[in-house]
Amino acid sequence: MRQLIVTEWMSLDGIFDSTLMNQWFEPYHSDSRAASIRDTIDNCDVMLYGRHTYEMMYPYWSSLKNNEMGVAAKLNAVKKYVVTTTLKEGCWQSSTVIRQNAMKEVAAIKAQEGGPILVQGSATLVRSLLEAKLVDELKLMIQPHIMGFGRRLWEENLNVGLERLEVQNLDKGVTVVRFKPIP
């Protein structure tokens, strides 16, 4: 059975807005943060995306052919699923679109033999996965920055208990915290 791991990059106040990353994410770049991101991606067998994250990542990463940043080859080759009701097909190599019964389909993918399923970004999908109790691990990469505005990862009316598994301190004050949802 596969593990489903959600990884999110966010500011201290929960902003994960990709349009504002130049303010809350980029100033905290370090070799240790890049290595942590690479390790997370390298250790998955399957990627699962919501439509917005998929459409943001596909044009950029699919254009890279020389394993840029040490993850391009993996991101392009790995099996990808995108949960959407609007996309007709996934244009990115090795992509499959899930249009109906998404949580049932994800549960079936989890039931397969193999390595972890990794979810990046995809806040709406992550909320549904948490509510369906399909998430095995939540890995938050927190930048030491209070943004004060922008799209928040956690919307109202989400109530999930968590058990902390590990805290890792990276350079420039970035902290990675791993949690397990409490059933």
Q: Where are the domains of the chain?
A: 4-181
pLDDT number for residue 155: 79
Q: What is the 3-state secondary structure (H, E, C) of 31-49?
A: HHHHHHHHHHHHCCCEEEE
pLDDT number for residue 158: 87
Q: Look up residue 138 and give its two tokens.
A: 């939540």
Q: What angle do CA 116, 42, 37 make, to 5 degrees?
A: 105
Q: What string of DSSP letters covers 93-144?
A: TTEEEE-SSHHHHHHHHHTSSSS-EEEES-HHHHHHHHHTT--SEEEEEEES
pLDDT number for residue 32: 98
| pTM value surpassing 0.85 | yes
Q: 37 to each of 34, 52, 155, 161, how far by Cα in Å? A: 5, 20, 24, 25
- Which residues does the chain have with pLDDT short of 50? none
Q: Look up residue 99 and give its two tokens.
A: 């249009």
CATH architecture of the domain with range 4-181: 3-Layer(aba) Sandwich (3.40)
* 156 CB burial (10 A radius; 0-12, 13-18, 19+): exposed
Backbone angles phi, psi at 85, to 5 degrees: -105, -5
